[in-house]
Amino acid sequence: MNTRHHPITIIGAGLGGLTLARVLHVNGIEAAVFDLEAGRHARTQGGMLDIHTENGQVALRAAGLYDDFLALVHRGGEATRVLDKHATVHWDEGGEDEAGHGGDERPEVDRGQLRRLLLDSLPEGTIRWNRQATGARPLGDGRHEVTFTDGSRITTDLLIGADGAWSRTRTLVSDAWPAYTGISFVETTLDEADTRHPAEAALVGDGMLFALDDGKGFLAHRKTDGSLHIYTALRAAEDWLDTIDFADADVAKAAVLAEFDGWADSLKALVAHADGALVPRKVNALPVDHRWSRAPGVTLLGDAAHVMSPFAGEGANLAMLDGAQLGQAIAAHPDDTGKALAAYEEELFPRSEGKAAESAGGLELCFGPDPLPQLLGVFSGGPEDTDADRGRDGDRDRDGDRG
């Protein structure tokens, strides 16, 4: 089998990898993207993302897609409700002002729609689907050989690991591996909520709902397709999800709801009335200060570089900014890969560490003792503001930049 050479290779077609490919494209630089999925429609998408002014929106501007992104924004999606375990409402803030304008600092967008925007912005053939990388090895002078499950191989002058939390590319530069944070998620969906689940639709409202206490709770948001996406979360042993038969939805619902004795029936209905399968997720994270020594011809972005808990809403935003800044660094130093990677990583490491610390703090706020007054302090702009109020990025492991 012939070994093909690509000057720039991106492993993973998630938001970060696609943003990098797009920024390179607008700068006249070709890249080859490899992804394990069978095609663009194969990957199951998660819920809503809030795209931040200081990172996600910066990336979209660099990609020349900001105006197209605005057309996808869920108007009113920034609405937020905070409830206690008895479903008493303690905070209820709309997502639009009296003129019908939503906030522009963190507008909400459907993750799947955002990904399609990026996919459609790339030339046909940029992404090689159904190509799962199994490993890579250095060949010297910064070049690498990448192998795939189908037995094929490529060589490349510049290898970028955008392949998510369980990145195989990461092993070229780091021995770090994500560790369980102590929090487990179970995802559920209520379809056509306004007509099929009106009580739950009224409970969640137009945007995001938080109901947290006793180290557990419900995080829910309304999607643009009218469905409700719910994360039931709790502190649990790492093997707790493994003890539940998720092949049987009724059995799984009963096992999850058994952990919520004493909670309001209206909140438990977010699980009890769910449509389709329940999806288990363990929340994992790399060390807050994860970084690596400069290695010729290879670097990482997104979850491959800094997977963190979703409780600051930063994962997708950081992945996109990583991709944009790396693309700009390569364009600024087209004949000096070493200088491009050094410039990129110089900004990447401190930025990632700061946001990872925020995310870890957000996790402790949400699942520590007495979270309600702390959340209310966040929303009222008090001293406890750790950004945990915008933790809407919990689908990263599902949609992470995998390869």
Distance (Å, whole) CA 105 – CA 78: 10
pLDDT of residue 95: 57
From the list 392, 388, 367, 370, the residue with the least C-alpha distance to 378 is 388
Write phi, then psi, for 300 (nearest 5 degrees): -130, 160
Contact 311, 391 (CB under 8 A): yes
pLDDT of residue 380: 80
pLDDT of residue 44: 57
Cα radius of gyration rounded to whole Å, the chain: 21
pLDDT of residue 261: 97
Structure tokens at 128: 């090689």
CA 133 from chain center: how many Å? 21
Whether this model's pTM surpasses 0.85: yes
Tell me the three state secondary structure of residue 326.
helix
Distance (Å, whole) CA 403 – CA 396: 14
Beta bridge partners of 180: 284
pLDDT of residue 289: 97
Q: CB under 8 Å to 85, separation ≥6 — which residues?
A: 211, 213, 214, 217, 262, 263, 264, 267
Q: Which residues of the chain have pLDDT under 50?
A: 97-102, 383-392, 394-402
Q: How far apart are the first and last CA of the chain?
A: 21
Task: Determine whether 275 is exposed, middle or buried from the number of CB atoms within 10 Å of its CB (0-12, 13-18, 19+).
Answer: middle
pLDDT of residue 399: 38
Contact 183, 309 (CB under 8 A): yes
pLDDT of residue 60: 98
pLDDT of residue 102: 46
pLDDT of residue 224: 86
Distance (Å, whole) CA 81 – CA 230: 14
pLDDT of residue 41: 82
Structure tokens at 90: 């303690």
pLDDT of residue 76: 74
pLDDT of residue 99: 37
Distance (Å, whole) CA 45 – CA 91: 29
Write phi, then psi, for 258 (nearest 5 degrees): -65, -20
Identify the CATH assignment for 4-72+109-178+287-367+394-399 out of 3.40.980.10, 3.50.50.60, 3.90.79.10, 3.30.420.10: 3.50.50.60
pLDDT of residue 3: 86
143-148 and 133-140 beta bridge pairing: antiparallel
